[in-house]
Structure 1
Amino acid sequence: MSQRTTPRQSTLRTRAAVLAAGLGVTTALGAGVAFAANSSGDAGAPRASATAAVDKQAQTEKASAVKAADKDKKAKKINPTWVKPVSKYTLSATYGRGGGMWASKHSGQDFAVPVGTNVKSAHAGTVVKAGPNGAGDGPAYGNAIVIKHGTGPSAKYSQYAHLSKVKVHIGQKVDKGQSIALSGNTGNSSGPHLHFEIRTTPNYGSAINPVSFLRSADVTL
């Protein structure tokens, strides 16, 4: 048996339904607003955190690179790839110096040392000239040696002149710091010394400043 609904009951039910719907909308809107607030309020935090992490990693990598470079630089100073041709000396005539002793300007650096001082190869390489008469560069050099270092266009050549004794021969491979000769006073020399050149070819006329070159290779003179 069905129950009849009075007009008053119908009105009350309608109001209740409307109220419930309103509360639902309000709840949904509130959640949406809260979510939006949360999103906008916290969006910068993850971004800032990620940026800070990247910056920290970049700083760490930079510090590691600087440390490695310093370590490499110290290692080169302790064990440079080039060395002085003599251990104890007094620097005398310098590269580019003018005077009656030379056909043009002085082509190398002179190391004043007593006759018989041990002369070392400044770098590993292969002997390409060795003997009297400047090893082919002329009598002014006396007994001399030229050693090739490296290959191709970037190869360099070291020359040692006025020697009293030559201890190597053409084609011989030598190590850095290996004894190759004894200093002397042969050729056009004003006193016992070693004449040392760095060249871009094995021949006279291609010399560059040997002191600047050695210093660029971390050799202190």
Structure 2
Amino acid sequence: MTQRVTSRFSRTSLIRSRAAVLAAGMGASVALGAGVAAAADTTAASSAAGAIQAQAAAQAEAAKVQAAAQAKAAEVKAVKAEKAAEAKKAAAEKAAEAKKAAAEKAAKAKKAAQAAAKKKAASWIDPVKSYKLSAGYAQSGGMWASKHSGQDYAVPTGTPVVAVHGGTVVKSGGNGAGDGPAYGNAVVIKHGNGTYSQYAHLSSVNVKAGQVVKTGQKIALSGNTGNSSGPHLHFEIRTSPNYGTAVDPAKFLRAQGVQF
């Protein structure tokens, strides 16, 4: 009886032991599987994080390269703009200098022209002052054998008569200084370039042949001698000292800058 009970107890204990071992083995297997799964998840997460980090680093590097390229392009553009601005400024300065030089040249030319005109006008003057023009060159009339040979200046007797330009007296005195009684008292002055001036109908003569006179120098007084209808100065410009070579005196004097 005792032996049978012991055997039954032993068998039961054995069965329980085996069950416990089996359960422990199953638990270990489950725990091992869970550990492997957790390790796999950790590896995958690490791989994903690494990929993300790599992608982020690549993007950051690409952005850095792009930013550097943009900065370089901006720098090149700024340099070009600066050079263009400098070139524009230089061109503007050059144009301003050219304009200034042209203005100065024009002003200088104008001043020179005015000085030349003044000098020219000063070198030839009217033979009398405060006059009124009367009979003109080539005018027809009963007072002359042909047409009028000079320009008449209506002035009172005794008005000072001056040399219209510097020169040498070549004829002086009555009888038209050799040109005939129609001229009355007269003076003829030789100027440069084969030009002569003649003054007639004078009341008195103040110069002699051979005398050198200056522009504006008094040479006589106006009058009414010779073939004259009233006090005036008869004035001629000639190409020789003698009658018959007269040209238009008013036109000649205007060409020299004399204003009537």
TM-score by length of 2: 0.62
Using the TM superposition, give the Cα deviation of residue 90 of structure 1 relative to its aligned residue in structure 2, in angstroms.
2.8
From 116, 129, 134, the equivalent of 2:158 is: 116
Matched letter for residue 82 of structure 1: W
Using the TM superposition, give the Cα deviation of residue 170 of structure 1 relative to its aligned residue in structure 2, in angstroms.
0.8
1:129-144 equivalence runs, <5 A:
129-144=171-186
Change over 3 Å in CA distance of 1:160–1:49 after alignment to 2:
same
Q: What is the percent sequence identity of the aligned residues? A: 58
* Alignment-derived partner of residue 57 in structure 1: 101
What secondary structure is seen at the aligned counterpart in 1 of 2:177? Answer: helix
* 1:170 maps onto 2:214 in alignment: no
* Alignment-derived partner of residue 212 in structure 1: 251
Q: Find the aligned partners of 1:181 and 1:34 in 2 and give their Cα distance.
A: 85
Change over 3 Å in CA distance of 1:114–1:50 after alignment to 2:
closer
User: Max radius of gyration: which structure?
Assistant: 2
Using the TM superposition, give the Cα deviation of residue 44 of structure 1 relative to its aligned residue in structure 2, in angstroms.
5.0
Q: Find the aligned partners of 1:183 and 1:135 in 2 and give their Cα distance.
A: 15
Change over 3 Å in CA distance of 1:56–1:102 after alignment to 2:
same
Using the TM superposition, give the Cα deviation of residue 37 of structure 1 relative to its aligned residue in structure 2, in angstroms.
7.5
Matched letter for residue 158 of structure 1: S
Q: Find the aligned partners of 2:234 and 2:210 in 1 and give their Cα distance.
A: 22
Q: Between Structure 1 and Structure 2, which shows a larger proportion of helix residues?
A: 2
From 100, 104, 107, the equivalent of 2:149 is: 107
Structure 2 residues without counterparts, runs of 5 or longer: 1-64
Q: Find the aligned partners of 1:118 and 1:36 in 2 and give their Cα distance.
A: 79
What secondary structure is seen at the aligned counterpart in 2 of 1:110? Answer: strand
Comparing 49-58 with 168-177, greater Cα deviation is found at 49-58
1:50-83 Cα offsets, whole Å, 9 max, x none, are 343223222222223324434554x459x72222
Q: Find the aligned partners of 1:130 and 1:53 in 2 and give their Cα distance.
A: 60
Comparing 59-68 with 86-95, greater Cα deviation is found at 59-68
Matched letter for residue 189 of structure 1: S
Using the TM superposition, give the Cα deviation of residue 119 of structure 1 relative to its aligned residue in structure 2, in angstroms.
1.6
Using the TM superposition, give the Cα deviation of residue 133 of structure 1 relative to its aligned residue in structure 2, in angstroms.
1.9
Matched letter for residue 110 of structure 2: V
Using the TM superposition, give the Cα deviation of residue 139 of structure 1 relative to its aligned residue in structure 2, in angstroms.
2.1
1:92-148 Cα offsets, whole Å, 9 max, x none, are 211110012112210111122333332211121110111222112222212211001
Q: Find the aligned partners of 2:130 and 2:101 in 1 and give their Cα distance.
A: 48
Matched letter for residue 80 of structure 1: A
* Alignment-derived partner of residue 46 in structure 1: 90
* Alignment-derived partner of residue 49 in structure 2: none
Matched letter for residue 179 of structure 1: K
Higher relative contact order (CA 8 A, sep 6+): 1
Matched letter for residue 90 of structure 2: P
Q: Does the CA contact (< 8 Å) of 1:80 and 1:217 recur in 2?
A: no
Q: CA RMSD in A?
A: 3.4
